[in-house]
Amino acid sequence: MKKVLLTGTMAIMGIVLLTSCGENEKKSAGVNEFNYIADRFEDISVLRYRLPGFEQLTLAEKEFIYYLSEAALCGRDIFWDQNFRYNLVIRKTIEAVTGTYSGDRESDEFKAFITYAKRVFFANGIHHHYSNDKFVPGFSPEYFASIVQYSDHSLLPLKEGQTPDDLLAFLTPVLFDPDIFAKKVDQSDGVDMIASSANNFYEGVTQKEVEEYYASLIDPADTRPVSWGLNSKIVKSEGKITEVLYRSGGLYGPAIDSIIYWLEKAKEVALSDTQERELELLIDYYRTGDLKTWDDYNVLWAGNTGLTVDYINGFIETYGDPLGMKATWESVVDYKDIEASKRTAVITANAQWFEDNSPVNPAYRKDKVTGVAASVINVAMLGGDCYPASPLGINLPNSNWIRTEAGSKSVTLANITDAKDIVARGSGFLQEFAWDEAEIERAVRFGSLADALHTDMHECIGHASGKLAPGTDPNALKNYASPLEEMRADLFALYYMMDPKMRELDLMESDDAAKAEYDNYIRNGFMTQLARISPGKDIEQAHMRCRSAIAHWVYERGLEENVIETIRRDEKTFVKINNYDKLRSLFGEMLKEVQRIKSEGDFEAGRNMIEKYGVKIDQALHNEILERYARLDLAPYSGFVNPRLVPVSDAQGKIIDVMVEYCDDYLEQMMEYGKRYSFLN
């Protein structure tokens, strides 16, 4: 998976304002309270993320981040236009009304308009960011005409000779007619996906023509192919198909020139020679549109690891194109999470100890284990396709041959994940699903650390551990390989969470973080993850099968000793752990068995384990969980407002510091971006 997205199924967001719980205080270190919620409307909550440790960065690092962040914001219009060709005209009209409508701004209809505006801003266009369906405005075309009438006409995106009435006549069906431009991306079977998708990667061509066009260009024997079609629009006019490149002087030229302007500044203060060379190639690529240069850039970028400050910037992900070729523009600027990186360094440095002391059969332990240093970063700015809906983790580049030859970078976005977790804990979720106050208290105080440690152990040592018996076919486990592999990594983490070694290494102060992790894991595997599954369906996703299998297996094994108990209270189901030490040894036993299955390629045992414990759902419990979730009224989708980075200059105009301001008004940020980063028509 290239990107772990904050999707409807993953996000468990709430609307409760968190002010000063224990966790919050710990994280704030000097800041008394931080309000993580910026806005809530329809199916969306908009959060804020913090920039921990930003003040401690060097001036050079801050300056570098600042320039890259400006570059990250300059491509916003590109993404809007890629989503749908009339999005920019619509946005400018919405901005004019939002900013200047002089009628009754308190009326229900105007509020409905503002909600619509917020949805469009969130989706970077008039189609839902996740479902791709066109939004249905909560107001009438007549009302829309009246508010446009009473807004500042000089701000409307009128073309030469066009009147506000002409603009309205044009926009009304686009916004209100459910039958036109209904879906941004249509991948239904049997349709011409290009003709029926409203996005803006192709004009006047059929799917067949596009496929033929690229078939004529691509050499299947090429072992290092460029990413054909990545940065262009295909246009057919007068019977001729042409590829219009996204580049300086080409399509999106003015926005790309602004990106280049800030990348040039960043290049001047690049933190290493390699990074300088990298930016040189990226700028060159933006000037020429040459995909070979893009590959050269990616080879350099992929190999340039261990940095304090890094970024992505370009036409990268192809989810928006039904044919999977054209990439949307996006950018993220990030800096290393020093604390988390220390943590992963400690774990990685002790990888051999963990391996040698695991409950796994010694024959299936690795003699020499090298932990993988997962990199944990904090986001400083999100742009394009990463804003406001942000990924939680990123693994790039996408080009397969570059991944094989030059490697790839995999990062988790710590401050984004934290904001999401902290809000989720304040959402009433724990009050609904945790057994008692002690469990809630543990989750609030230790949940973030527990979560982070689990992820670190899973990634750095869990997946890296163990070996196959001689002669075992590595593909023997077939379709059960992924959930079993996730189980191995999870069990490794769970088993060691409660080991005295964790305290010895100063990774946690007491067992409470481990207990919080056990509570959360069992509650999730047994109950709460079912909220992501439609009624009547089985569990399919590998990570979910893994969690279900672990929770149910240890539950069954511990039944006699009542290690985990299911209890009914007020017609609701709860799980309660009665014996944490025994649970730990059950995790150890299961780890031993799962490693055996993998090492010996025991397909039958693997299948039995997954099918028996990981796939089927108790229907009554499923319905109950879905109902309890629905009552919590959590927003299924979430995204983020960016902080504002403000340079401080001396009398000569030289930057001497960069300050962070946290924006708490989502609509205001959208209006500000519309003013400051509008380069296209």
What 3 state SS string does 242-288 have?
EEEEECCCCECHHHHHHHHHHHHHHHHCCCCHHHHHHHHHHHHHHHH
| Residue (100 or 482) nearer to Zn ion, CB | 482
Which span sits near Zn ion by CB under 5 A: 198-206, 427-435, 472-480, 484-492? Answer: 484-492
| Min dist. Cβ of residue 567 to Zn ion (A) | 31
| Min dist. Cβ of residue 553 to Zn ion (A) | 18
For the record, the structure tokens of 590 come out as 């299961």
Query: Any idea how long the chain is?
Result: 681
What 3 state SS string does 147-174 have?
HHHCCCHHHCCCCCCCCHHHHHHHHHHH
Instruction: Measure the CA–CA gap between 554 and 657, rounded to whole angstroms.
Output: 54
| Min dist. Cβ of residue 543 to Zn ion (A) | 7
Which span sits near Zn ion by CB under 5 A: 468-476, 486-494, 498-506, 557-565? Answer: 486-494
Q: At which residue do the structure tokens 């941004």 appear?
A: 184
**Strand pairing report for 655-662 and 3-5:** unpaired
Instruction: Measure the CA–CA gap between 440 and 425, rounded to whole angstroms.
Output: 9
Instruction: Measure the CA–CA gap between 119 and 117, rounded to whole angstroms.
Output: 5
Which span sits near Zn ion by CB under 5 A: 471-479, 482-490, 640-648, 657-665? Answer: 482-490
Sign of CA dihedral 614, 618, 622, 628: negative
Task: Return the beta strands (E) in 480-620 as ranges.
Answer: 564-569, 572-577
| Residue (439 or 486) nearer to Zn ion, CB | 486
Rg (CA), the chain: 26
| Min dist. Cβ of residue 66 to Zn ion (A) | 35
| Residue (293 or 455) nearer to Zn ion, CB | 455
| Residue (443 or 489) nearer to Zn ion, CB | 489
Measured at CB, which residue is nearest to Zn ion?
489
Close Cβ partners of 392 (under 8 Å, ≥ 6 residues apart): 4, 5, 6, 10, 412, 413, 416, 417, 420
Which span sits near Zn ion by CB under 5 A: 36-44, 177-185, 209-217, 480-488? Answer: 480-488
| Residue (51 or 610) nearer to Zn ion, CB | 610
Residues 487-506 that bind Zn ion (CB under 5 A): 489
Which span sits near Zn ion by CB under 5 A: 4-12, 199-207, 479-487, 508-516? Answer: 479-487
Which span sits near Zn ion by CB under 5 A: 220-228, 257-265, 478-486, 546-554? Answer: 478-486
What 3 state SS string does 33-75 have?
CCCCEEEEECCEEEEECCCCCHHHCCHHHHHHHHHHHHHHHCC
| Residue (385 or 486) nearer to Zn ion, CB | 486
CA proximity to 352, closest of 465, 267, 257, 207: 465
| Min dist. Cβ of residue 458 to Zn ion (A) | 6
- Count of residues in contact with Zn ion, rule CB under 5 A: 2
| Residue (318 or 524) nearer to Zn ion, CB | 524
Which span sits near Zn ion by CB under 5 A: 116-124, 195-203, 250-258, 483-491? Answer: 483-491
| Min dist. Cβ of residue 463 to Zn ion (A) | 6
For the record, the structure tokens of 538 come out as 């089985």
| Residue (24 or 408) nearer to Zn ion, CB | 408
| Residue (456 or 486) nearer to Zn ion, CB | 486
Residues 69-128 that bind Zn ion (CB under 5 A): none
Decide if 355 contacts 369 (C-beta within 8 A): yes
Measured CA angle at 349 (ends 417, 462), to 5 deg: 55
| Min dist. Cβ of residue 490 to Zn ion (A) | 8
Instruction: Measure the CA–CA gap between 430 and 441, rounded to whole angstroms.
Output: 10
Instruction: Measure the CA–CA gap between 593 and 599, rounded to whole angstroms.
Output: 10
Sign of CA dihedral 61, 63, 64, 70: positive
| Min dist. Cβ of residue 473 to Zn ion (A) | 22
| Min dist. Cβ of residue 494 to Zn ion (A) | 13
User: Which residues is 661 bridged to in the sheet?
Assistant: 644
| Min dist. Cβ of residue 590 to Zn ion (A) | 16
| Min dist. Cβ of residue 360 to Zn ion (A) | 17
Cis bond upstream, residue 397 (ω within 30): yes
Close Cβ partners of 594 (under 8 Å, ≥ 6 residues apart): 484, 487, 488, 491, 609
| Residue (389 or 497) nearer to Zn ion, CB | 497
Which span sits near Zn ion by CB under 5 A: 103-111, 448-456, 481-489, 585-593? Answer: 481-489
CA proximity to 425, closest of 456, 447, 453, 449: 447
Decide if 77 contacts 680 (C-beta within 8 A): yes
| Residue (307 or 497) nearer to Zn ion, CB | 497
| Residue (492 or 673) nearer to Zn ion, CB | 492
Sign of CA dihedral 549, 551, 554, 555: negative
| Residue (486 or 517) nearer to Zn ion, CB | 486
| Min dist. Cβ of residue 454 to Zn ion (A) | 11
Instruction: Measure the CA–CA gap between 44 and 666, rounded to whole angstroms.
Output: 12
| Residue (463 or 592) nearer to Zn ion, CB | 463
| Min dist. Cβ of residue 482 to Zn ion (A) | 9
Q: How many CA atoms lie within 13 A of 257 on its CB side?
A: 10
Instruction: Measure the CA–CA gap between 148 and 89, rounded to whole angstroms.
Output: 13
| Min dist. Cβ of residue 455 to Zn ion (A) | 9
Measured CA angle at 49 (ends 347, 420), to 5 deg: 70
Instruction: Measure the CA–CA gap between 427 and 18, rounded to whole angstroms.
Output: 9
| Residue (129 or 409) nearer to Zn ion, CB | 409
| Min dist. Cβ of residue 489 to Zn ion (A) | 5
| Residue (461 or 564) nearer to Zn ion, CB | 461
Q: At which residue do the structure tokens 């003699």 appear?
A: 367
Residues 544-573 that bind Zn ion (CB under 5 A): none
| Min dist. Cβ of residue 426 to Zn ion (A) | 28
| Min dist. Cβ of residue 542 to Zn ion (A) | 9
Q: For residue 333, give the H/E element and its range.
A: strand 328-336
| Residue (300 or 489) nearer to Zn ion, CB | 489
Should residue 533 be labelled a site residue for Zn ion when binding is judged by CB under 5 A?
no
List interacting residues with Zn ion (CB under 5 A). Answer: 486, 489
